[in-house]
Amino acid sequence: MNVQHILTLNAGSSSIKFALFEADADLIETMRGQIEGLGSAAPHLEAKLRGDTLADERLGSARAADHETALDVVLELLQRAIGRTAVDAVGHRIVHGGLEFARPAIIDEDVVRRLEALDPLAPLHQPHNLSGVRAAHRAFPAALQVACFDTAFHRAHPWVNDTYALPRAFYDQGVRRYGFHGLSYEYVISRLKEIAPQDEKGRVVVMHLGNGASMCAIRDGRSIGSSMGFTALDGLPMGTRCGQLDPGVVLYLLQQKRMTAEAVTDLLYNHSGLKGLSGLSQDIRELEAAATPEARKAIDYFVDRIRRELGAMAAILSGIDTIVFCGGIGEHAWRIRERVCQDFDWLGIALDGSRNRASESVISADDSRVCVRVINTDEEMMIARHTARLLAERGND
């Protein structure tokens, strides 16, 4: 069997993450990188080839003006990495799959049209995800293009965790809780199954904490509750997104403040969350280093909402056996983990301070009834696995 090459693309609003895998008997990562600051004056490229630095440089604005030009940079790296630009399949992270897509799907023109209709449900992500699809199709017209959905992992929620108290017709039309970060949760659960299968079968709360943040209640490896809902605005406060909000606030902004729908959308997605509360930054590292009361209060609010949601997850699961922190904040911000878990001894949570500060794989104390773990998530690997499976199925047809 010839080695096949799978490229994964995770296109955000101003960035594109990519990874290259060799698919033979197993998946082997050969290259990984990202371009940040697309469309800015100084986009930044980072890439590693088999663990060694392949690129770490500022790009001219013209070289990464949009996703299509950024993909040209990725092609150059592919040429350096594998000596050619032939790619057998491209796996894409697609944030919203709506009602129709409960599992990864091969992308064709009809699929793209159906996914475009979901743009209003994920305006910060979906259009850029699809921009990456179009750019990849132009670059690799013969490659299999695969959509991997952040909502798919949550599609088996119990009805009570999936609905809103609106007339049933809205639920039937698709107004329901979808949940997001599913690729991250799916990967974390797969890792938990490898390193602690007894924990994977229990009552697990995974906290994906980063610029986007959410929490998921998982039992027997299946999602049964998520902090996010109809859109990626709901739940925890995030870098620039508000999180849970009384819908009456939106009505007030529209009716009394005379804001347009577009202005409210921009406010809630781009100028709220940690950035809006602090008036300083969406980066938790900058906020922790700042001495301003606003920065401190922004962190206080972030931690408080996580703790509230943890209590809700415990209720959904009727207790917790394992907690997993992942994502940029979850994996690296030990002070946040410490504050989230403190005074939860009534739930059986006890951290080991030195383990937590060192971000060890298990950070709970030996006598903690709840095992608290840190697992580095890997959405790219999850995308590659799904893509490799569909590639193999096509080869067997």
| Pairing of β 222-226 and β 52-58 | unpaired
Task: Count CB neighbours of 318 within 10 A.
Answer: 8
Instruction: Measure the CA angle with vertex 327, ends 48 and 93; round to 5°.
Output: 70
366 and 352 in contact (C-beta within 8 Å)?
Answer: yes
Sheet holding 371-374, edge to edge: 222-226, 213-219, 203-209, 322-326, 371-374
Backbone torsions φ then ψ of 325, nearest 5 degrees: -95, 135
Q: Biggest alpha carbon distance in the chain?
A: 66
Burial of 129 (0-12, 13-18, 19+ CB in 10 A): buried
Q: Distance between CA 95 and CA 230 in Å, rounded?
A: 12
E strand intervals along the chain: 4-11, 15-23, 27-36, 44-49, 52-58, 89-94, 105-106, 144-149, 203-209, 213-219, 222-226, 322-326, 371-374
Q: Which of 26, 72, 119, 150 is catalytic?
A: 150
Does 56 qualify as catalytic in the annotation? no
Catalytic residues, by residue number, are: 150
